C-alpha cells in the first residue's frame, strides 16, 4: 500500500499580499492616481479641506441651529413652498420651456433695436394668431391664479 504524502500548506499571510498590491499600485494605476492628486490639489487650493474640517468641528452648533430654525413656522412654510415648486417644475414639459426661452431671447434682441410701436402697430400685433394664443395662455394663468387666491 502507498504511504500518504505529508503536506502542510503554508499559512497565507494577507499582509504580504497587501504589501505586494500596494507596491504595484502606483505603477498599475498611475493615471488614476495622478487625476485624483490633481483633484485633491485643486480642492486644497480652494480651501475645501479647511471648510470640511470647520464643519466637522462645529457640527453640534450647526445641528443646533438647523433644529432651531426647522421649528420656525416661516421655515416650515419655506420648505413646503420649495417642495411645491419642485413638484410644479417636475410636472412641466421641458420642450415648451426651452422653446419659450429661445423665443424670449429673440424677442428681447429685436425689442432693443426697434423704436416703441404705435398703438395701431400694437393692435396689428394682437391680431396675429401667435399673439392671441399667448394672450389666451396668459388669461388662463391669471384665471388659475385668481382661483388659487380664493
Using CA atoms of 113, 118, 123, 128 in order, give the dihedral in degrees to the nearest 10.
-20
Q: What integer pLDDT is reported at residue 84 of this predicted model?
A: 94
Q: Distance between CA atoms of 3 and 67, rounded to whole angstroms?
A: 76
| 62, part of any domain | no
| 114, part of any domain | yes
| 116, part of any domain | yes
Its domain, for residue 106, covers 94-150
| 28, part of any domain | no
Q: Which three cell numbers stand for residue 14?
A: 494577507
| 123, part of any domain | yes
Q: Distance between CA atoms of 15 and 23, rounded to whole angstroms?
A: 12
Among candidates 79, 59, 83, which has minimal Cα distance to 69?
A: 79
Encode the chain (150 residues) as per-residue pLDDT tens digits. Answer: 678 888 887 777 888 888 988 999 889 889 999 999 999 999 999 999 999 999 999 999 999 988 888 888 898 899 899 999 999 899 988 898 898 899 888 888 887 888 888 899 989 989 999 999 999 999 998 999 899 888
| 15, part of any domain | no
- First and final CA of the chain: distance in angstroms? 102
Total structural domains within the chain: 1
Instruction: List the alpha helices (DSSP H) in 29-128.
Output: 30-46, 48-57, 59-70, 73-91, 94-113, 119-126
Amino acid at each position: 500500500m502507498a504511504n500518504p504524502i505529508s503536506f502542510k500548506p503554508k499559512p497565507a499571510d494577507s499582509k504580504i499580499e497587501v504589501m505586494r498590491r500596494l507596491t504595484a499600485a502606483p505603477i498599475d494605476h498611475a493615471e488614476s492616481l495622478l487625476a485624483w492628486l490633481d483633484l485633491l490639489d485643486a480642492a486644497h487650493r480652494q480651501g475645501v479641506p479647511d471648510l470640511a474640517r470647520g464643519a466637522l468641528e462645529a457640527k453640534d452648533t450647526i445641528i443646533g441651529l438647523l433644529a432651531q430654525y426647522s421649528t420656525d413656522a416661516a421655515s416650515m412654510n419655506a420648505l413646503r413652498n420649495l417642495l411645491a415648486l419642485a413638484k410644479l417644475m417636475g410636472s412641466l414639459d421641458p420642450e415648451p420651456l426651452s422653446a419659450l426661452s429661445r423665443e424670449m431671447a429673440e424677442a428681447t434682441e429685436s425689442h432693443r433695436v426697434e423704436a416703441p410701436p404705435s398703438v395701431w402697430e400694437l393692435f396689428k400685433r394682437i391680431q396675429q394668431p401667435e399673439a392671441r394664443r399667448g394672450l389666451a395662455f396668459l388669461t388662463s394663468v391669471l384665471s388659475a391664479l385668481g382661483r388659487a387666491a380664493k
